[in-house]
């Protein structure tokens, strides 16, 4: 690897690792746009809240599903000792305007115990899990993702928006003892008609 490529790779890894995820009680220390704040801290499933706000204009679309390696930060966040897992990404929109991007990280052992998680298609994971017993959701954590963060770039790919920082929240979920992680990233158009 050339010196320039190594520096770019190191900078990207540092950017991914530098994200500080905060508990809800620390969110008040930051300025959050008034239109976004209720979406970020509101109770209930984001998908159901968006369905209510958007009515017939709500759309949820699977944009990517792939297997990949779990870096140290993801392994600690889930938590898992697995080195790989399934990454499932969806966009939630009001009509053609993407409001939110969600990524689920499902470690290999969780996927082996619950293989149906790979077959959700355009169904909402949160709504599906809410209908099951044995599901525990941890408290939300919040982050102000840098513009050069991989998740930010993935979230903005269909939004017709240049690189910007984005608010995100994540929660750990236990599905009958098997861990997974959900992350929701709020785009600039969130809450606008």
pLDDT in tens, 177-192: 999 999 999 999 898 8
58 occurs within a structural domain: yes
C-alpha distances in angstroms, 158 versus 83, 98, 153, 190? Answer: 29, 7, 10, 14
180 occurs within a structural domain: yes
Identify the burial level of 37 via C-beta atoms within 10 angstroms of its C-beta, where 0-12 means exposed, 13-18 middle and 19 or more buried. Answer: middle
For the chain, helix (H) and strand (E) counts, in that order, are 7, 8
Let me know: does 184 contact 170? Beta carbons within 8 Å.
Answer: yes
pLDDT in tens, 78-131: 999 999 999 999 999 999 999 999 999 999 999 999 999 999 999 999 999 999
> Which distant-in-sequence residues (6+ apart) come within 8 Å of 29 by Cβ?
22
9 occurs within a structural domain: no
The predicted pLDDT at position 42 comes to 85
Number of folded domains that form the chain: 1
pLDDT, mean over the chain: 88
> Using CA atoms, how far apart are residues 163 and 11, in angstroms rounded to an integer?
16
Residue 40 sits in a domain whose CATH number is 3.40.1410.10
10 occurs within a structural domain: no
- Domain extent, residue 132, equals 20-186
pLDDT in tens, 146-180: 988 888 888 988 777 777 889 999 999 999 999 99
64 occurs within a structural domain: yes
> Which distant-in-sequence residues (6+ apart) come within 8 Å of 73 by Cβ?
16, 17, 19
6 occurs within a structural domain: no
pLDDT in tens, 47-62: 999 999 999 999 999 9
């Amino acid at each position: 690897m050339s010196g320039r490529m190594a520096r770019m790779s190191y900078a990207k890894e540092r950017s991914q690792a530098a994200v500080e995820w905060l508990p809800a009680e620390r969110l008040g220390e930051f300025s959050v746009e008034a239109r976004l704040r209720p979406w970020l801290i509101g109770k209930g499933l984001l998908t159901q809240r968006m369905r209510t706000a958007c009515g017939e204009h709500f759309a949820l679309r699977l944009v990517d599903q792939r297997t990949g390696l779990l870096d140290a930060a993801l392994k600690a966040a889930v938590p898992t000792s697995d080195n790989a897992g399934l990454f499932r990404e969806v966009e939630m929109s009001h009509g053609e305007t993407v409001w939110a991007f969600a990524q689920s990280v499902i470690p290999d052992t969780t996927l082996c115990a619950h293989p149906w998680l790979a077959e959700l298609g355009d169904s909402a994971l949160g709504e599906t899990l809410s209908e099951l017993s044995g599901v525990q959701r941890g408290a939300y954590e919040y982050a102000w993702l840098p513009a050069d963060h991989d998740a930010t770039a993935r979230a903005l790919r269909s939004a017709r928006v240049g690189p910007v920082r984005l608010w995100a929240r994540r929660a750990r979920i236990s599905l009958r003892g098997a861990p997974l992680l959900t992350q929701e990233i709020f785009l600039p158009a969130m809450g606008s008609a």
